[in-house]
Amino acid sequence: MSRKRKVLIIDDSAVARQALSRICSDSEDLEVVGTAPDAMIGLRKIESLKPDVITLDVEMPRMDGLTFLEKLMMSNPLPVVMVSAYTESGSSAALRAFDLGAIDVVEKPRMEVRDGLNRLAELIVDKVRAASYARVATPAERFFVRSSAEPVEISPAEREKIGSLPNQHVIAIGASTGGPQALSSIFRVLPQELPPILVVQHITPSFTKSFCNSLDHDSQLTVQLGTEGAYLRRGHAYLAPGDQHMLLRRTGDDLTLTLSGHDRVNRHRPSVDELFKSVAESAGNFATGILLTGMGVDGAEGLALMRDKGAWTLAQDESSSVVFGMPRAAIEQNGADQVISLAEIPNAIVEHFIVESNN
């Protein structure tokens, strides 16, 4: 049996520290090696305990969690799961945490903290476990990704050709751990003429809307939450709403969305597999499937089915993945036509549709 993953909990609330300690300790593969009531004590414990992953509160005395996260990532990058309250400022803090290098974010209830965290126990354990295996980008790597994010080069003629493709084309993307950063880097550079894009990202449901707004702000595409019965439009991307599966349906010649609250698949709702399987059945060889970084196997079976139905499929490679779980599973199931780095994905998408427009 592999060794337990070492967890350090930094939170100024004694109740939260106790609840998070119990939740993580109840998992057979996690070990809480220490707790700290503030960032300065936490820093000393990082040096002595050498944790695999840290849970870090946002709102703390002496030094707030975001300031500490920024300093940590510049000096000693470690996997961090931020614990942020669900408020407007909390959502902003969650997005800022991703930008600074946090692996994931968990919602911290503002009232009845112990009971609220206990209700999220399974989600917390999944996120902490996944983060403990994550490859953490250095400050230089994050700077390079942001500074080199130039829009994909595409001529006016190519834009016109892509824009004239049949309305049956659709792109489906799935991501989990490390996905918010990966999706941001992709959406920042894609042209607006592309076919509609459907996205499932495993993220705390209460932060989904803020993440959607962030993608929309930084992209040429119009990014919105998927809604029941929505007709897909070129130049638009649809993010699965929190705690609902998002599926593609064919209505005559039109492609529409439907939402469902049915059981979790691969422990997730929304599930990448549910989206990919619906796209395979509804769009067939007009579909493109892309599976990005993430822990577990969600999306692997669906990507393989898409490929079987004639779709063009991509998996993110190991070197650029934060966690090479979902892409690895897809590759093992022969679900990927190509395995490429995150930086190569936007150009690959555009080049694919340029070729399609010439056929």
Instruction: Tell me which residues are annotated as active site.
Output: 176, 202, 298
Say how many C-beta atoms besides its own lie within 10 A of residue 141's C-beta. 14
* Main-chain dihedrals φ then ψ at residue 55, nearest 5 degrees: -100, 135
Say which amino acid occupies 358: N
Task: Residue 321: name the closest of 191, 163, 133 by CA.
Answer: 133
Looking at the chain, how many residues does it have? Answer: 359
User: Are the C-beta atoms of 283 and 256 separated by less than 8 Å?
Assistant: no
Q: How far, in Å, CA of 290 to CA of 175, rounded?
A: 9
Q: What share of the chain is helix, strand, coil (3-state, %, to 5)?
A: 45, 20, 35
Say how many C-beta atoms besides its own lie within 10 A of residue 260's C-beta. 14
Q: What is the DSSP string of 211-280?
A: HHHHHHHH-SSEEEE--TTPBP-TTEEEEPPTT-EEEEEEETTEEEEEEE----BTTBSS-HHHHHHHHH
Task: Residue 272: name the closest of 242, 249, 250, 240 by CA.
Answer: 240
Q: Omega of the bond prior to 270 within 30 degrees of 0, cis?
A: yes
346 to 60, 144, 159, 216, 314: CA distances (angstroms): 39, 16, 15, 16, 11
Q: How far, in Å, CA of 147 to CA of 227, rounded?
A: 34
**What tokens appear for 226 in the block?**
């998927």
Residue keyed to tokens 């969305």: 257
Say how many C-beta atoms besides its own lie within 10 A of residue 263's C-beta. 8
